[in-house]
A and B are shown apart, each in its own frame.
Chain A
Amino acid sequence: EAEVAQSPRYKITEKSQAVAFWCDPISGHATLYWYRQILGQGPELLVQFQDESVVDDSQLPKDRFSAERLKGVDSTLKIQPAELGDSAMYLCASSIDPVFGELFFGEGSRLTVL
């Protein structure tokens, strides 16, 4: 069964360091999402791509976060510099239909900032 691949599964870093997360969506899924889930809360959208274009990055803290999907396939989410409050699960999801398609999530990348 096709899956959304994410790496790394776990990342521990110190405050002010740079971190990067990678996501490879299900083949053929044009829509890719990065969500952040803080413990005890629901996932919150950071950025949504349609192919290589950003559709919505209104909730992405652009002073420290960046995301790209250069060839419209895999994607990278970067944080620089990391802050204590960035500790969370970073979830990547993809969808074949951005309107009525279900989201398929990867296993997530758990970030701990010390």
Chain B
Amino acid sequence: DQQVKQNSPSLSVQEGRISILNCDYTNSMFDYFLWYKKYPAEGPTFLISISSIKDKNEDGRFTVFLNKSAKHLSLHIVPSQPGDSAVYFCAASDNTGNQFYFGTGTSLTVIP
């Protein structure tokens, strides 16, 4: 049973425009969420996180929004750059120190 879902396997965006990557979760106990970026043949790299006490967290071009009532989070990248082309995973965990559950990833292509 997939507790974290990324329903869009791929996304293409023009350079300079906004990229919006979406993630849904089913477990209401999840209260800490992370986004990772992965290039081919490399391990995932941490991008940004958000805890359930916030509804927004911003770091440079990256902003994560959390809608707890909808069990939905999104990652906004503005402006998008060709170097942002990668697979993006969202992950979630509860506050017990248990495992992080990962989504299936969204492959972002930023077109120059």
- Whether A associates with B in a native complex is yes
Count how many pairs of residues, one from A and one from B, have CB atoms less than 8 Å apart in the complex: 63
Asked whether, in the complex, the Cβ of A43 is within 8 Å of the Cβ of B102, the reply is yes
Find the B residue at minimum CB distance from A105.
Answer: B43
Given known A-B contacts A41-B104, A43-B89, A108 and B99 have beta carbons under 8 A apart = no
Find the A residue at minimum CB distance from B9.
Answer: A40
Binds B, one of A12-20, A63-71, A72-80, A96-104: A96-104
B107 to chain A, nearest CB (A): 10
Contacts of B44 in A (CB 8 A): 43, 91, 103, 105
Contacts of B99 in A (CB 8 A): 33, 45, 48, 56
Asked whether, in the complex, the Cβ of A103 is within 8 Å of the Cβ of B89, the reply is no
Find the B residue at minimum CB distance from A42.
Answer: B102
Contacts of B49 in A (CB 8 A): 102
- Other-chain contact of B43, A42, A48, A55, A108 (Cβ < 8 Å): A108
Binds A, one of B65-73, B76-84, B90-98: B90-98
For chain A, the count of residues having a C-beta within 8 Å of the partner chain is 28
Interface assignment of A4: CB less than 8 Å from any CB of chain B? yes
Q: Which of A6, A40, A43, A108 has the most CB of B within 10 A?
A: A43
Interface residues of B (CB under 8 A from A): 4, 6, 32, 34, 36, 41-46, 49, 51, 89, 91, 93, 95-100, 102-105
Q: 24 A–B contact pairs at CB < 8 A? A: A6-B43, A33-B99, A35-B102, A40-B105, A41-B105, A42-B6, A42-B89, A42-B91, A42-B104, A43-B44, A45-B99, A48-B99, A50-B97, A55-B97, A91-B44, A99-B32, A100-B32, A103-B44, A103-B46, A105-B43, A107-B42, A108-B41, A108-B43, A110-B41
Interface residues of A (CB under 8 A from B): 4, 6, 31, 33, 35, 40-45, 48, 50, 55-56, 91, 93, 98-100, 102-108, 110
